[in-house]
């Protein structure tokens, strides 16, 4: 019997506090600004990907959530697979000619997300991180997360940050070949274990404008984006790293909410405008603002921070001790009525993960 070459890996999502929105190079996926995120645990939000190489396969094929997706020549998926095969040849087969020539076989890849795909909960991040991780395992590559981060970035920018747990920055870099545009760990989860995330799934519909096409339109048309990337994000990156290192939740919360607001302002400043949040998203913002206001008025600090990616679903970061109260608040202000939440309004409470499981 011929041997079976197959491997499975999972990867977590990450939700940005300082948002990536804009590319300076669309092919290599080089961003117009650095970004910073928190990687969540895999209980509720993960991609699990199985890759198999076989000499009988005629071409590379991909199934996402059970449905076959086309792998376009020269597209992102094809770039990631090609890069991983190149590494297999360079790092394994050329060094040890006895190793099977897996780099010359086609692969069949099957991936499942256990949360809504393309709904603004970073499925492209966990998806491409799981893809490169499963191929790295299949090909038995002796490579670091930072090398995998460079390759995952070329699948989806945000994916480069899902190769690490804890608090992760994607340094935009300056090299034209993208060799310094990768993720680095700012602090491990154990540095600030008190931070928790609450994910409010307002809608699991596929978004109308994908992140890729939305940000491209913003780059082409938004004057506000130029102000953001030149005059706002560089200082915010420094300030949020300082806040994380000092475990300063007040600063972390202020910066996270301000950056979510500015990202959505930039989407609105796009021609034609892009709306990712809906009425329920905005009501959740009002609730968190009021919750913080009452605490500040009583001499306390910030209690929670909301952030929204390119979709209507809220992620709320808060110290663990506040999570129960926040769930009670949300459930009482948003009883799960069909007309406001559809059938699928759901709350997931997630820890920050200590490491991306490879």
Q: What Rg value do the Cα atoms of the chain yield, rounded?
A: 21
Which part of the chain contacts ligand DP6 (CB under 6 A), choosing from 16-24, 105-113, 230-238, 279-287? 16-24
Quickly list H helices, 209-336: 211-221, 223-227, 233-245, 249-268, 279-297, 320-333
CB environment 228-253: b (16+ within 10 A), e (fewer): bbeebbeebbebbbebbeeebbebbb
CB-CB contact of 304 with 318 (8 Å): yes
Crossing angle for the helix pair 123-138 and 145-153, nearest 10 degrees? 130
* Closest of 249, 58, 244, 269 to residue 167, by C-alpha: 244
CB of 304 to ligand ADP, least distance (A): 22
CB of 318 to ligand ADP, least distance (A): 22
The listed partner (ligand ADP, Co ion, ligand DP6, none) that binds 117, CB under 5 to 8 Å by sort, is ligand ADP
Which part of the chain contacts ligand ADP (CB under 6 A), choosing from 122-130, 132-140, 167-175, 269-277? 122-130
Contact flag: residue 309 with ligand DP6 (CB under 6 A)? yes
CB of 88 to ligand ADP, least distance (A): 19
Contact flag: residue 156 with ligand DP6 (CB under 6 A)? yes
CB-CB contact of 274 with 214 (8 Å): yes
Task: Show contacts with ligand ADP in window 272-331 (CB under 6 A).
Answer: 309-311
Structure tokens at 234: 């560089």
The sheet that has 314-319: what strands, in order across it?
305-308, 314-319, 195-201, 346-351
Size, binding site for ligand ADP by CB under 6 A: 21
Positive or negative: CA dihedral 231, 237, 239, 240: positive
The listed partner (ligand ADP, ligand DP6, Co ion, none) that binds 244, CB under 5 to 8 Å by sort, is none
Contact flag: residue 84 with ligand ADP (CB under 6 A)? no
Mask for 210-229, x = binds ligand DP6 (CB under 6 A): -xx-----------------
CB of 196 to ligand DP6, least distance (A): 19
> Rounded to whole angstroms, how far apart are CA atoms 185 and 358?
16
Give the residues lining the site for ligand ADP (CB under 6 A): 47, 64, 111, 113, 117-125, 127, 131, 156, 210-211, 309-311
Which positions lie near ligand DP6, rule CB under 6 A? 16, 19-21, 29, 35, 122, 124, 156-158, 211-212, 309-310
């Amino acid at each position: 019997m011929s041997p079976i070459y197959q491997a499975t890996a999972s990867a977590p999502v990450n939700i940005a506090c300082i948002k990536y929105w804009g590319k300076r190079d669309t092919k290599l996926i080089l961003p117009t600004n650095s970004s910073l995120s928190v990687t969540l645990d895999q209980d509720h939000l993960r991609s699990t990907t199985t890759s198999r190489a076989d000499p009988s396969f005629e071409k590379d094929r991909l199934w996402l959530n059970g449905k076959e997706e086309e792998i376009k020549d020269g597209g992102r998926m094809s770039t990631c697979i090609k890069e991983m095969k190149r590494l297999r040849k360079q790092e394994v087969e050329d060094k040890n000619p006895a190793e099977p020539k897996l780099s010359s076989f086609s692969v069949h890849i099957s991936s499942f997300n256990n949360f809504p795909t393309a709904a603004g909960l970073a499925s492209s991040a966990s998806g491409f991180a799981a893809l490169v991780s499963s191929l790295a395992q299949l090909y038995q590559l002796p490579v670091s997360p930072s090398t995998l981060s460079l390759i995952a970035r070329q699948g989806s920018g945000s994916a480069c940050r899902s190769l690490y747990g804890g608090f992760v920055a994607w340094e935009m870099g300056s090299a034209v070949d993208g060799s310094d545009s990768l993720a680095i760990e700012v602090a491990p989860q154990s540095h600030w274990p008190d931070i928790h995330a609450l994910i409010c799934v307002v809608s699991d519909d596929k978004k109308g404008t994908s992140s890729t096409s939305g940000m491209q339109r913003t780059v082409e048309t938004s004057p506000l984006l130029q102000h953001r990337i030149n005059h706002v994000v560089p200082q915010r990156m420094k300030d949020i790293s300082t806040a994380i290192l000092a475990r300063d939740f007040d600063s972390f919360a202020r910066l996270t909410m301000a950056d979510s607001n500015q990202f959505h302002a930039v989407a609105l400043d796009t021609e034609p405008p892009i709306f990712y949040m809906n009425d329920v998203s905005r009501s959740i913002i009002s609730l968190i603002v009021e919750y913080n206001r009452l605490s500040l008025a009583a001499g306390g600090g910030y209690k929670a921070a909301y952030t929204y990616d390119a979709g209507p679903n809220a992620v709320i970061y808060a110290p663990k001790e506040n999570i129960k109260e926040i769930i009670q608040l949300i459930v009482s202000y948003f009883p799960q009525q069909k007309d406001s939440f559809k059938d699928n309004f759901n709350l997931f409470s997630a820890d920050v993960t200590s490491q991306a499981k490879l």
